[in-house]
Chain A
Amino acid sequence: MDVLHWDGTISVKYFRIGAFAFAQNWENHNSGFPPWSWVCPKHHWLASPEEKGYLSWEKICISRPNEEDVDQISQIDTREEEISCPGNEDVIDDAILVQSSNRELHYYDFHIVYSSTFRVPVLYFRAYCSDGRPFSLDEIEKELPACSAKELSKSKWTFITQEEHPYLKRPWFKLHPCGTAEWMKLLFLSDAAKPKFEVVLELYLLSWFSVVGQVFGLRIPFKISN
Chain B
Amino acid sequence: MDAQKYLWEGAIPLQIHLHESQVTALPPPPPALILAPRIGYLPLLAPLIKPYFSSTLPPGVDTIWFDYNGLPLKWYIPTGVLFDLLCPEPERPWNITVHFRGYPGNVLIPCEGEDYVKWSFINSLKEAAYIMNGNCKNVMNMSQSDQLELWNSVLNGNLEAYQRVSSKLKLATVDEYTSLCSPKSQQSLGETDLTAQLKTGRVPVRLYLLSVREDFDDLDEVHPIDSWEKISYINRPVEIRKEDKCFSLHDALKTLLPELFSDESLTDVKLSGVDFEDAVRKPNEDVSSDKVMEDQGQNAYKQPEAGHVSSSAEIKLIRIQGIEPKLEIPFSWVANNLINPDHFLHICVYVKVAQ
Query: Which residues of A line the B interface, CB within 8 A?
Result: 1, 5-7, 9-15, 43, 45-48, 116-119, 157-158, 161-164, 166, 169-171, 176, 178, 197, 200-201, 204
Contact = CB atoms under 8 A, between A and B. Distances in A.
B116 to A, nearest CB: 9
Closest 7 A-B residue pairs measured CB to CB? Answer: A11-B190, A14-B190, A7-B186, A157-B119, A9-B188, A171-B109, A10-B189
Given A158-B123, A164-B109, A171-B106, A5 B232 contact: no
Contacts of A171: 105-110
A163 B109 contact: yes
14 contacts: A7-B187, A11-B190, A116-B235, A117-B127, A118-B127, A118-B130, A119-B188, A163-B109, A166-B233, A170-B107, A178-B130, A197-B189, A200-B189, A204-B189
Given A158-B123, A166-B235, A169-B228, A5 B189 contact: no
Contacts of B107: 170-171
A162 B228 CA distance: 18
Nearest to B209: A46
Contacts of B189: 1, 6, 9-11, 14, 197, 200-201, 204
A171 B110 CA distance: 8
Interface string B273-305: 000000000000000000000000000000000
Nearest to A201: B189
A152 to B, nearest CB: 14
Most buried by A among B115, B189, B237: B189
Nearest to A3: B189
A15 B190 CA distance: 9
Given A48-B258, A157-B123, A169-B229, A162 B188 contact: no
A10 B235 contact: no
B257 interface: yes
A46 B119 contact: no
A179 to B, nearest CB: 9
Interface in B68-116: 74, 105-110, 115
Given A117-B127, A118-B130, A166-B235, A178 B136 contact: yes
B266 interface: no
A85 B260 CA distance: 45
A157 B122 contact: yes
Nearest to A14: B190
A221 to B, nearest CB: 26
Interface string B225-260: 000110011111100000000000000000001111
A174 to B, nearest CB: 10
A15 B235 CA distance: 17
Contacts of A5: 185-187, 194
Given A118-B130, A171-B108, A10 B188 contact: yes
A13 B186 contact: no
Given A116-B235, A117-B204, 19 more contacts: A5-B187, A7-B134, A10-B188, A10-B189, A10-B190, A11-B188, A11-B189, A11-B190, A14-B190, A45-B259, A45-B260, A46-B232, A46-B257, A119-B188, A158-B123, A161-B123, A164-B109, A178-B130, A178-B136
Contacts of A116: 235-237
Contact of A47 (B119, B184, B190, B234): B234
A45 B313 contact: yes
B316 interface: no
B17 interface: no
A173 to B, nearest CB: 10
B108 A11 contact: no
A204 B259 CA distance: 31
B191 interface: yes
Contacts of B313: 45
